[in-house]
């Protein structure tokens, strides 16, 4: 017998509360966290007496997913399931951010969640959730179609004005979203990287990096080893979220190249070496977003992750060859 659970935002979190009501059709808690089934997903599934599924190893049709558990720091992954109107729990305290921020709303998304955020739902909450998700009646559908159809007979000048207004509004919306993403995502990350570099410079960690990473990143075999390690199927989904690791390491390597500790001709191969894991966490989400069949997701995720082990080092070699004579 399924049980309904209310999930509220945790410390520093945003959104919710969500009332999850399992049914025979929707009863699966899908964990898209890159490291097996997340403990939050396991606890939630146990409370509701539902099934917890590792979204990286098993494809699940959207119409069977009750809630998706993610650990996204603010990239597209936290908005993919809200876009599909699937309840989404983010274990990190992230609000409306990323390219799909407009789909992240309080009625479908909650973040900063830990086990203390779970409680069994009362009857009124369950009834309200059931009413909000109930399909529209034929009469309601006919009324909506009638409202949409009303006033369609317009003159040429009116239609021309509406068309021009539509184009202008799209450009305006694109500009607004660009500014919004820049303010909410790009600038905070730039400030974060600047802070990390300041700490590294002030603490002397930069000297350690120069003495340890620089010799490895200054040779082709060293970069091949870095690429191979980053592309390992069990590591790449963990290192991939938000491409944070790659961006920080890339910035550090850029500083070392600027200081002369790493020859500049290794800049391009180093870029491919540290980027072998980027997107590893997004593979099942991307396939789901492309409406792939569950069997395709189940086979496609390991296929892509294992192919990185081959294509990662191969990209480093190609970049190394392309850099020959580039900085001479």
Write out the two tokens for 228: 């191979």
Per the CB < 8 A criterion, the answer to whether 306 and 283 are in contact is: no
Per the CB < 8 A criterion, the answer to whether 224 and 313 are in contact is: yes
Per the CB < 8 A criterion, the answer to whether 74 and 243 are in contact is: no
Dist CA 253 CA 276 (whole Å):
16
Residue that the structure tokens 């990350």 belong to: 189
Q: Which of 59, 72, 66 is nearest to 26 (CA)?
A: 66
The number of helix segments (H) and strand segments (E) in the chain equals 13, 8
Per the CB < 8 A criterion, the answer to whether 1 and 7 are in contact is: no
Q: Taking each helix axis from N to C terminus, what angle separates 220-230 and 267-274, rounded to the nearest 10 degrees?
A: 20
CA-based end-to-end distance of the chain:
71
Instruction: Give the residues across from 54 on adjacent strands.
Output: 31
Write out the catalytic residue numbers: 72
Q: Which of 260, 261, 253 is nearest to 215 (CA)?
A: 261
Per the CB < 8 A criterion, the answer to whether 18 and 66 are in contact is: no
């Amino acid at each position: 017998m399924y049980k309904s659970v209310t999930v509220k935002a945790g410390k520093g979190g945003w959104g919710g509360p969500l009332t999850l009501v399992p049914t025979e059709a929707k009863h699966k808690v899908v964990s898209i966290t890159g490291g097996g089934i997340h403990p939050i997903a396991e606890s939630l599934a146990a409370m509701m007496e539902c099934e917890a599924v590792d979204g990286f190893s098993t494809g699940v049709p959207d119409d069977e997913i009750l809630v998706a558990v993610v650990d996204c720091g603010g990239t597209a992954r936290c908005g993919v399931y809200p876009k599909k109107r699937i309840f989404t729990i983010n274990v990190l305290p992230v609000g409306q951010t990323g390219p799909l921020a407009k789909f992240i709303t309080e009625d479908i998304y909650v973040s900063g969640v830990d086990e203390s955020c779970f409680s069994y739902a009362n009857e009124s909450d369950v009834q309200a959730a059931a009413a909000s998700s109930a399909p529209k009646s034929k009469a309601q559908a006919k009324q909506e179609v009638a409202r949409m159809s009303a006033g369609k007979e317009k003159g040429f000048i009116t239609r021309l004005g509406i068309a021009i207004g539509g184009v202008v509004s799209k450009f305006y919306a694109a500009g607004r979203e660009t500014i919004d993403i820049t303010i909410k995502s790009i600038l905070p990350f730039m400030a974060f990287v600047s802070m990390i570099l300041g700490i590294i410079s002030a603490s002397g960690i930069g000297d350690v990096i120069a003495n340890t990473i620089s010799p490895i990143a200054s040779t082709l075999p060293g970069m091949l080893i870095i690429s191979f390690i980053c592309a390992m199927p069990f590591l790449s989904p963990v290192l991939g979220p938000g491409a944070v690791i790659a961006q920080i390491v890339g910035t550090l390597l850029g500083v070392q190249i600027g200081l002369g500790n790493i020859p500049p001709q290794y800049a391009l191969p180093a870029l491919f070496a540290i980027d072998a894991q980027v997107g590893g966490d997004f593979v099942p989400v991307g396939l789901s977003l492309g409406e792939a069949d569950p069997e395709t997701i189940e086979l496609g995720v390991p296929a892509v992750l294992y192919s990185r082990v081959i294509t990662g080092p191969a990209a480093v070699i190609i970049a190394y060859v392309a850099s020959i004579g580039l900085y001479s």
